Amino acid sequence: MAADAGWERSGWLSGHSGLNSRAIQSNIASPLKIKLQSNARAEELTQSGFSDKECTALAGPVSDASCCVQSLDLGCAEVLVSSWVESSSSLAGTLVAGALSKGQSVRIFLTSVIGAALMALAAFSAAAGTLYITNRGSGELAILDESSLTVRTLIGVGGRPWWVAVTPDAKSACVSNARGLAVVDLEGGTVERRLDLGGQGMGVAMSPDGVFCYVAVNRRGGDRLVAVERTTGQTRGNLAIGKRAFGVYLSPDGRMLYVPEHDAFALSVIEVPRLVKRRTIPLTPAGGGAYDKPHYLAMSNDGARLYLPFQGRTLVEIDTASLVVTAKHLAINAHQHGITISADGTRLYLANSAFDGTGSLSEIDTATFRELRRIPLGKDHEQVILSADGRRAYLTGGFALGGHDELTVVDLKSGEVNRVSTGGRRPFGIVRGP
């Protein structure tokens, strides 16, 4: 029986805070199967007002509070659990779906777990946001609901979209594309203006106030970093940069841009809003080979550290105050593009690509630079970000050297890997927003 139908027919949802089955379903993390078994604590349960059958989880965690059922038909064998939710404080709650047996409803009783469950559900919903993904192969910006991982909107933004930056209020976005930049009205689902900047727009960043988009443009006459006033489309400055800047990263205080320059084997440090280059840092820790170039970087939340991976052999750390570069040895031996950092700055996650469909995700301790684990993904990926609570990693399948048409979702606690559609081809750039 479908779990959703069980929720509806049990009638349990109707009296609890306006929740509905589809809202619950959208928060599934790891469905559990529950089986009714004989219980040696029948007397205790009877005194508590329950039957002599207890729900015992066959898979996954359970809360400390017992989840018991009183059935009109004790021959009922199984109850499907629609959702398992944990709050940010690890307070667990179990939401149990009703089932039918011989046309009769199974009544679900939740004891002290009900409060924790509803609190956990509320916490999860508050943490869930929106994923903005460029479908590079089909020319769209895909907007996904993070809780259900379903496509909410597809907006055509021009050929070969690379990166996306979203305003703090999530009402507008700048998307780099084959001709430069598209400014998108996220509320209306339309492109407000298309800006021809003379080449392929690549990395892009948004100023903290949402006024400026900073986009790296790869063009024949030499690559430029262009400052565009988002609301007018006017260019307010431009600066020569190294060739093919995969990413553009703004410091938390909005005063500095960090631009990894792929074909120049360098990182430019640029003051904004004046677009004055403070320094260009050479980056050749893995040598000068075709695959030994910088791609993306991860920045600590306080902006004090930058991290760039090179071919699974070296991880570069840059102190942004002194601009001192430190190279740390890695033993992953894989071509690496995407990298992200946990909110507390203690873990790095690296997207490893092997060119043969055996990509993986490495977790690195930033204190020791030791690889803690490697999660097989079965496919290669371009970029990686984390959910707000740090429990999931999202990796785009539109790897620059091939790739696939899916978003890979990794449960970082269990290592479980799933894939979902982004509604288009070759998902590439990804950011998370409200």
pLDDT tens profile 70-109: 333 333 333 333 333 333 333 333 333 333 333 333 334 3
- Residue 81, amino acid: V
In a shared domain, residues 171 and 39: no
The answer, yes or no, to whether residue 324 has pLDDT greater than 80, is: yes
Which helix (H) or strand (E) is 79 found in, with range? strand 78-80
Q: Which pLDDT score is estimated for 290?
A: 84
Range of the domain at 179: 127-433
Give the integer Cα–Cα distance in Å for 259 and 204. Answer: 10
In a shared domain, residues 239 and 387: yes
Beta bridge partners of 327: 316
Q: What's the structural domain count of the chain? A: 2
In a shared domain, residues 207 and 117: no
Of the pLDDT bands very low, low, confident and very high (cuts 50, 70, 90), residue 132 is very high
- The CA-atom distances, in angstroms, between 131 and each of 249, 276, 297 are 18, 32, 19
CB 400 within 8 A of CB 406: no
Helix (H, G, I), strand (E, B) or coil at 249: strand
Say if pTM beats, i.e. exceeds, 0.85: no
Mean pLDDT value across the chain: 78
In a shared domain, residues 306 and 172: yes
In a shared domain, residues 223 and 94: no
Compute the average pLDDT of residues 124-136.
82
Please confirm whether the linkage preceding 273 is cis (ω < 30° from 0): yes
Other Cβ atoms less than 10 A from the Cβ of 375: the count is 19
Of the pLDDT bands very low, low, confident and very high (cuts 50, 70, 90), residue 356 is low
In a shared domain, residues 164 and 286: yes
CB 313 within 8 A of CB 286: yes
In a shared domain, residues 80 and 214: no
Of the pLDDT bands very low, low, confident and very high (cuts 50, 70, 90), residue 402 is confident
Final residue before a domain boundary, out of 97, 125, 153: 125
Compute the average pLDDT of residues 271-293.
93
Compute the average pLDDT of residues 397-411.
90
For the ranges 66-75, 230-239, 322-331, 412-421, the lowest mean pLDDT is seen at 66-75
Other Cβ atoms less than 10 A from the Cβ of 221: the count is 8
In a shared domain, residues 156 and 196: yes
In a shared domain, residues 267 and 152: yes
In a shared domain, residues 189 and 313: yes
In a shared domain, residues 109 and 80: yes
Final residue before a domain boundary, out of 78, 97, 125: 125
- Of 174 and 356, the one with more pLDDT: 174
Final residue before a domain boundary, out of 106, 125, 144: 125
In a shared domain, residues 27 and 153: no
